[in-house]
Structure 1
């Protein structure tokens, strides 16, 4: 499966536009994305998140960790059209995510709690974007993931360094897909991860 640029249907684009309009409205009150990103929201955040869709589509459901303003959780929920759980500890951001899920008609459940306190049925896929180093992501993702599931993590130029660091305490398989939206970006597809012994 390749992480390729996604072309979306008119209905999906309309739902994404409704989400962006809501984001712009709420961003004046709570900091969901950097104000300087508002002018290129589609390129900077939506397209980046859409890269995960081919890797998620066809799976039963997903869990998004640290969803923040909804990247990639809301975007994946809209474009892949599968159920998901979005975990976000900030109550105001959780309120925004609930409203975004409602107006876009997605099958998303918002869980307003810390990742290490999340009580969620393990899913086939766990996603995250701009959240934490890989080592930390694996710690949080492990209990949320089915045994043969995969973690899909959008990463920047530190990806290789993070893989090396995580390998000190974890055993895992990793595939790296080049980002279509950032020359320094990659999507890490991590599977079969368990704590290294000894």
Structure 2
């Protein structure tokens, strides 16, 4: 997939595409210094990373504050910031070098995302409308993290691979939630889990 293919599939404006192209160019440049993404995914950057992240945008709706866990190279959080500069995006990434990369891309794209180079549990509650994550941790652990940083009215958007159903079964032992799942546009075995009204079952009993 090329940048033009990405634009055709997402219908983003030329300005948005230009921002994301800056991101893509910097990622390729920095990849030579630090391992940001799997090297074999670089030729498929626009599909494997940018489209994979951008597919979350329609589910954000009118929400304004997004907190992205384990941002790594910025997927999906920094892509969402590039798509919509009015979003208040917070990127949580404990790796200092990746944090430097995220800040550089954020500045170069002219976005206003906030980068927190700390562990998720060490950051004071951010009160997110939307929590996102991709390839970070099992669902039950993500839900515990999300509870720390989201409003009670918030939603969680988690990109999950082929074991999503197994992770969901495990998580439902301890968590009660409203769940919608949407097939991934980039991974035939993957799923977007859209979760709301999430509460720990022990809390529910209390």
Pairwise same-fold verdict (TM > 0.5): yes
Q: 2:60 aligns with which of 56, 59, 62?
A: 56
Which 5+ residue runs of structure 2 have no aligned equivalent?
1-8
Report the number of matched residues: 194
Equivalent residues of 2:67, 2:126 under 8 A apart: no
- Hey, what does 1:131 align to over in structure 2? 136
Pair 1:35-2:29 in alignment: no
Query: Aligned to 1:122, which of 127, 139, 144?
Result: 127
Structure 1 segments unaligned to the other structure (5+ residues)? none
Q: Distance in 1 between matches of 2:61 and 2:22?
A: 22
Partner of 1:108: 113
Larger relative contact order, structure 1 or 2 (CA cutoff 8 Å, min sep 6): 1
The aligned residue for residue 19 of structure 1 is 23
The alpha-carbon deviation at position 121 of structure 1 amounts to 2.5
For the aligned residue pairs, the C-alpha RMSD in angstroms reads 1.1
Contact 1:57 1:80 in 2 (8 A): no
CA displacement, residues 46-71 of structure 1 (integer Å, 9 cap, x when unaligned): 00000001112421110000000000
Deviation at 1:75, TM superposition (A): 0.3
Distance 2:159 2:84 in 1: 17
CA contact (8 A) 1:6 1:53 kept: no
The structure 1 segments of at least 4 consecutive aligned residues displaced by more than 3 Å after TM superposition are none
How many angstroms does 1:182 deviate by?
1.3
TM-score normalised by structure 2 residue count: 0.91
Which structure has greater helix proportion?
A: 2
